[in-house]
Structure 1
């Protein structure tokens, strides 16, 4: 179309600093996923709700992760942000190749940071010391935090390492690798603090920090969860409330998935 209509027509679309359109790979917890082409200047909410159809299963919109593994997370509270190269960079994320992963309330932001840092850490060529060793140290800290072994100064140490990696790395990978960590700390610091200080995962995602229990007021004693449990961690008689034994439970979540009465709760 640019060849047919000329560059002026294409440049008339978009914002003052970011002309034209952008193709995004829309993925994650939205109803409709796929490749979407939008004019520069649309908002995050327009893509998530008008094009993506909103969040699956009526969950709450939490954030979008933009820019691939070395991109960043933008909270739902900034959903009215217009999308262009400059505005996205201001948030701490990057446009990258157009990846946009939508996250809902069940997503742990600490775990998201760990997931993407694991990728970039593996991809480090090792030439720059801070990128080679710093990303490994950051990943170790995140692994401790999600395992319920976080320490008081972990957040500050992550920020310190991240900033040193960004300024001392020679290539784009090292310069952007800390972005998922820095943006999740910036916008979701309370989740890090809950993991470290309270040994609790607000999203009920980190296996080491959750427990499964049965609400005796809702349990009908249908025995479905008891039959499905792979490690026999549930006991109870038919038509009587059941019990999950935490010392045996492997937290696979099968009981939660099969219960038809919402009697299994995650704490």
Structure 2
């Protein structure tokens, strides 16, 4: 950390990867097995900004392309150009100019300019949904009804019987069903329309760390093919 008068700067080793390369370029051998590690690490970054930093920080432009990965695939948050410091005692900021990236902005921020830490939680939910599904947040090459990831996924997230339709095709059906369903449940909570009903990032971190280490969810999350003989023991959430 370099500090001079009223400003400070963090210097990090060069990060050779962007999360978007692994999601969009479909590098299966690199991507399968680290999704939950990447998601949990990114969530920890937001948790720090919201709950540890003094003053707290609202990232405001959390998106996949702002997550860099080092050689060990540890995520680093970048590009704080739109970040907003939160004044003590004030939980809501109203902006006269909505800034951010289409597809990632929380609905209350896009419509009214009302910005809170829960706006970042929504954006995290979008990125997590990209990680789970392997789809871009906006993909104009898909049929019209599938071009916006959240619009396409929202009806499926309301019906657990359709959760498997959201699995990344790269997994070729080889994933712990329970782990997928639990991961999607976390994404769905983050994507709640009402900001007040979204979880804190600390709650998201707790859930993702569980998914990243729990064997029933698959080591690392929704990643690996179950070991031979384990398939019959995987239970879907009701």
Please give the range of the TM-score, normalised by the shorter of the 2 chains.
Answer: under 0.3
| Greater length-normalized contact order (CA 8 Å, ≥ 6 residues apart) | 2
- Choose between structure 1 and 2: higher strand proportion: 1
Structure 2 length normalisation: TM-score? Answer: 0.27
